[in-house]
């Protein structure tokens, strides 16, 4: 019965996620709990601003925000979670759980866990691709774009320095030459202007890369200048920006799609070939031409290769779909840029929503002065040829 309900999109969870309540008129539907939803939105906003789960939990505790268990008990909702001694104590895992719940985008997710048999009742996590997702089943608290961006941010590691400092650029800065992440370095005895980023592969001239040193305040100025130029250009010359970027995206997209499709065809061909090989060695084993040990070894090798190929095929299919959505992504980026037309300073939220990665080039001292360039990859659209656009504007 539960399986049938789950396949129809009826939520199977007994306990509604923090931020929702069961609809009094229909217990299978969820409605937004406005007071709790404010806290959920704040958690996602803090993550978008670069705060990690531990920092978020600490901040909520300092602001004396009731944790989900204490809040539910206060308003009379049953919860299986044990009552905490401090109702304002937030566990880091609670924050992580909230940040990873897809239900906040308005979808229902069923069959998240499974058991092997009636004799083995241990709950195991179902792979994401095998979970049943039903969209628009209840009001969304978090937009899909924000949710996706937060998952991306969560994949990045945000380490605080020994001094307890962190940078709004943490996890976003890379070396333009070797591709390694840039480390954020700071000390308690130097002023903030000395905080800087340096290539992780640089080890006092003994590593595999040069320093690519850049001070954090300089990086902030350069990024803000670049972002302002992009936002301003989109606001004033949206039509021309769209034309230039569509041309650029089509050229890069067609090349990428061609390469992905070629690799996809090779992977699918090899997958079919492995099925034939497996059948052949099975027949050889039955006929006695190869031993059971040899058959077991070969079949294991084929199965492992097939598993790897299936993962590769899924990845390539997702890449092709992403490339084919590039024009749609461009429109989404333009809408985001319009949101920040009145922005007068760089904010962590705007940075995370617009920028995907920042690449630091090696300093150029050929002119006698130290000059350093950065390249910014914007979310959804990649690199934007700002100088080319500005030249056309003044031509």
Convert the pLDDT of each residue in 273-327 to its tens digit.
Answer: 988 898 899 898 988 888 999 888 988 888 888 888 888 888 888 777 776 677 7
Please report whether residue 307 resides in a domain: yes
Tell me what pLDDT residue 361 has: 92
Q: Same domain for 280 and 142?
A: no
Q: Same domain for 267 and 128?
A: no
Please report whether residue 86 resides in a domain: yes
Structure-block tokens of residue 243: 């034309």
Q: Which of 136, 155, 174 is the last residue of a domain?
A: 155
Q: Which of 328, 350, 378 is the last residue of a domain?
A: 328
Q: Please measure the distance between the N-terminal and C-terminal CA atoms of the chain and give it in whole angstroms.
A: 70
| Phi-psi label, residue 347: left if phi above 0, alpha if psi -120 to 50, beta otherwise | beta
- Percent of the chain with pLDDT strictly greater than 90: 43
Tell me what pLDDT residue 66 has: 96
Gap between the Cα atoms of 291 and 288, Å rounded? 7
Instruction: For residue 43, give the CATH number of its domain.
Output: 3.90.1750.20
Please report whether residue 226 resides in a domain: no
Please report whether residue 122 resides in a domain: yes
Gap between the Cα atoms of 286 and 295, Å rounded? 10
pLDDT band at 38, cuts 50/70/90? Answer: very high
Q: What is the mean pLDDT of residues 82-94?
A: 90
Residue 134: pLDDT above 80?
Answer: yes
Tell me what pLDDT residue 224 has: 97
Residue 160: pLDDT above 90?
Answer: no
- Max mean pLDDT among 72-86, 131-145, 184-198 falls in 131-145
Residue 25's domain comprises 2-155
Q: Same domain for 134 and 266?
A: no
287: Cα within 13 Å, side-chain hemisphere:
7
Q: What is the mean pLDDT of residues 147-174?
A: 77
Residue 335 contacts by C-beta under 8 Å, 6 or more apart in sequence?
Answer: none
What is the pTM assigned to this prediction?
Answer: 0.71
pLDDT band at 159, cuts 50/70/90? Answer: low
Q: What is the mean pLDDT of residues 148-174?
A: 77
Q: Same domain for 134 and 265?
A: no
CB atoms within 10 A of CB 37: 17
Q: Which of 112, 135, 155 is the last residue of a domain?
A: 155
Residue 192: pLDDT above 70?
Answer: no
What is the number of domains present in the chain? 2
Please report whether residue 239 resides in a domain: no
- Max mean pLDDT among 24-28, 109-113, 237-241 falls in 237-241
Please report whether residue 287 resides in a domain: yes
Q: Are 176 and 212 in contact (CB under 8 A)?
A: yes
């Amino acid at each position: 019965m539960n399986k049938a309900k789950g396949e129809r999109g009826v939520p199977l969870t007994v306990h509604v996620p923090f931020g929702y309540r069961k609809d009094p008129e229909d217990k299978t539907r969820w409605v937004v709990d406005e007071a709790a939803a404010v806290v959920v939105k704040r958690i996602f906003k803090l993550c978008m601003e670069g705060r990690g789960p531990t920092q978020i939990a600490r901040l909520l505790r300092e602001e004396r925000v009731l944790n989900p268990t204490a809040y539910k008990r206060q308003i009379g909702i049953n919860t299986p979670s044990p009552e905490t001694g401090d109702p304002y104590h937030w566990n880091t895992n609670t924050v992580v759980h909230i940040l990873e719940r897809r239900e906040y985008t308005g979808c229902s997710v069923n069959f998240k866990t499974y058991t092997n048999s009636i004799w083995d009742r241990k709950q195991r996590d179902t792979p994401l691709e095998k979970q049943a997702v039903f969209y628009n089943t209840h009001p969304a608290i978090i937009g899909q774009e924000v949710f996706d961006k937060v998952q991306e941010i969560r994949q990045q590691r945000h380490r605080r320095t020994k001094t307890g400092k962190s940078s709004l650029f943490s996890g976003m800065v890379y070396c333009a030459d070797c591709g390694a992440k840039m480390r954020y370095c700071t000390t308690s005895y130097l002023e903030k202007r000395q905080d800087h980023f340096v290539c992780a592969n640089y080890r006092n001239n003994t590593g595999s890369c040069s320093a690519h040193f850049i001070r954090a305040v300089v990086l902030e100025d350069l990024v803000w200048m670049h972002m302002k130029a992009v936002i301003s250009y989109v606001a004033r010359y949206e039509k021309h920006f769209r034309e230039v970027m569509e041309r650029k995206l089509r050229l890069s997209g067609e090349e990428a799609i061609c390469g992905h499709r070629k690799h996809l065809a090779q992977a699918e061909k090899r997958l079919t070939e492995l099925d034939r090989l497996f059948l052949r060695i099975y027949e050889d084993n039955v006929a006695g031409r190869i031993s059971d040990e040899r058959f077991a070894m070969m079949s294991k090798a084929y199965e492992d290769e097939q598993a790897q190929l299936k993962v590769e095929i899924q990845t390539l299919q997702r890449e092709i779909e992403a490339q084919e959505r590039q024009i749609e992504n461009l429109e989404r980026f333009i809408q985001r840029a319009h949101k920040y037309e009145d922005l007068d300073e760089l904010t962590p939220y705007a940075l995370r929503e617009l920028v995907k990665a920042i690449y630091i080039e090696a300093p150029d001292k050929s002119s006698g002065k130290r000059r350093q360039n950065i390249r910014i990859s914007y979310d959804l659209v990649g690199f934007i040829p700002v100088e080319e656009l500005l030249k056309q504007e003044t031509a």
